[in-house]
A and B are shown apart, each in its own frame.
Chain A
Amino acid sequence: MAKLILSLDGSVIREVPLDKERITIGRKPQNDIQIENLAVSGEHACIVTILHDSFLEDLGSTNGTVVNGSPVKKHILQHNDVIEIGKYRLKYMGDAPAAGQTPADDFEKTMVLRSPAAVRAATAPQLSGDTQGGGAPFVAPAAAVTPVAAAPAMSAAAAAPAPAVSVPAAKAAEAQPLAAIQILNGPNAGTERELTKNLTTLGKPGVQVAVITRRPQGYFITHVEGASFPTVNGNTLDAQAHPLKDHDVIELTGVKIEFFIKSK
């Protein structure tokens, strides 16, 4: 289960498990996490937890809520986020699958989340024996797999691995050093273009086009369209992607283009 670690000036005050759908933070005593400090509003913020996600919302507090240094109104908490309210800090420790219970692979498998109404409406017997009673709103895809989504009580020990980062590593290819191309001849000689996107096309549509792709392994050139294929350092390419090296010279539609690495 996800939890918050409340601390002041570096010393831990207490741990708060996010075991309720809604947990409130504020100065007034009815809050789940009461912080008696004048910088904290009576009802300062709340955290709503739905399965593996916890949402932090500032409830219009006077002095605001800060996550990792930036003020937020609404924020979906990520493992190790630090919430600052006044001088207090709340570190969010995300939900992680308990080791040994479910292989990490199964943790991400698509599952069906059925509304309780739909389950009741189903006239057929339960699909699999391990769904937790007739009213269980979740159905695991396989009889052998414990429905992870239905197990909010699963404990995540402090030492449990961090939940897999679900952000698409869309920036994987951006780890590449910045490269650029420069036109060497013709009316546009000298024109330079930085390869800031994962795909950059060269040539004239309808005549001859090639694409330079930026990948974690490096930069590659591939023929896209046209009867003739581009050349790299005088060698004609085939349909396969061809890796580009610093100072390679590409030629297509009679234009010579140099590929080079700008920053290392």
Chain B
Amino acid sequence: MTDLSQVLEIATATHAGMVRSHNEDSIAADAEIGLAVLADGMGGYNAGEVASGIAVAMISTEMKQKLSGGGAEVLNGGAERFLAEHAERANAAIYEAAQSQPQYSGMGTTLVVALWHDNQVAVSHVGDSRLYRLRGETLEQVTRDHSLLQEQIDSGLITREQARYSQNKNLVTRAVGIDPAVDVEAHTYPVQPGDIYLLCSDGLSDMVTDEDIQLTLSSLQANLSLAADQLVQQANDNGGRDNISVILVRVRGNFPAQRAGWLGKLRAWFG
């Protein structure tokens, strides 16, 4: 597997916010294998942290093992399938833990996972944690929430602008770990050098407008960790009603996969 740490620059920030006593979000990012994972847990006491923690730890360790060990062939079955399988494994683990331990009963988590490979990014998500992309000056929301609000927008019941005033923001229609099976949405998108990707929990997207996210990413892109901190700070300045997590990934250049022809295999043999 190509080492992407020279191509991807990553900055992260996570904060409990101004209202919640603890942080139920979990994040992990690994530039080498080109992976970013973000989960927003739900459940009483510390069950939310447990659910998001299981999802992020399982997905990031297992993927790292397979990707750094197996090489690009791991993705031969399709990166989307690869991502979905890992989300399903996390789902099973969380569901099992919730079944066997009463204090974790009903726990679950949202999930967004992005994997950069071969000049593309594969994205899987469940729930209302999001992936955005800044390309040039344009910010685009790549994922579509699995939430009641999104369904209402899709059905034309309310507009995106009206959605800002909804009281139903906190209802997701899918989550990892609440049922024996989970429906994971996964897609692949072409990547361009200069793209900046943002994975975030709803603690950011509910508190900071897309315009302000766009302004922050485009004006502070020279300093990615400052941009991450600024996003969290703006969410807190606006009330910080939920945990806030962000992962920023900047793509510095092209990263085509090394084709594993006979020459490549020979090189690897002698390498």
Write the residues of chain A forming the contact surface with B, with a CB cutoff of 8 angstroms: 48, 50-53, 55, 74-76, 78, 94-95, 105, 108-115, 118, 122-124, 127-128, 139-145, 149, 163, 166-170, 172-173, 197-201, 205-206, 209, 211, 213, 215-216, 222, 224-225
Contacts and interface: CB of A to CB of B under 8 A. Distances in A.
B128 A110 contact: yes
Contacts of B234: 198
A139 B172 CA distance: 11
Given A199-B215, A215-B233, A142 B167 contact: no
A110 B168 contact: no
B89 to A, nearest CB: 17
A174 B164 CA distance: 18
Q: Please name the 7 residue pairs, one residue from A and one from B, whose CB atoms are nearest each other, closest first.
A: A142-B44, A52-B167, A225-B222, A113-B171, A141-B42, A141-B43, A169-B238
21 contacts: A50-B152, A52-B168, A105-B19, A108-B170, A108-B241, A111-B172, A112-B172, A122-B179, A124-B99, A127-B178, A139-B106, A140-B106, A143-B102, A163-B167, A168-B206, A168-B207, A173-B237, A197-B215, A201-B220, A205-B222, A224-B223
Contacts of A172: 237-239
Contacts of A112: 42, 108, 171-175, 178
B172 A95 contact: no
Interface of B: 19-20, 40, 42-45, 47-48, 95, 98-99, 102, 105-108, 110, 127-128, 148, 152, 157-158, 162, 164-175, 178-180, 202, 206-209, 212, 215-216, 219-220, 222-223, 226, 230, 233-234, 237-239, 241-242
Given A143-B102, A143-B105, A211-B220, A105 B171 contact: no
Contacts, number: 164
- From DSSP, what is the main secondary structure of chain A's interface residues? loop
A162 to B, nearest CB: 11
A199 to B, nearest CB: 5
B172 A211 contact: no
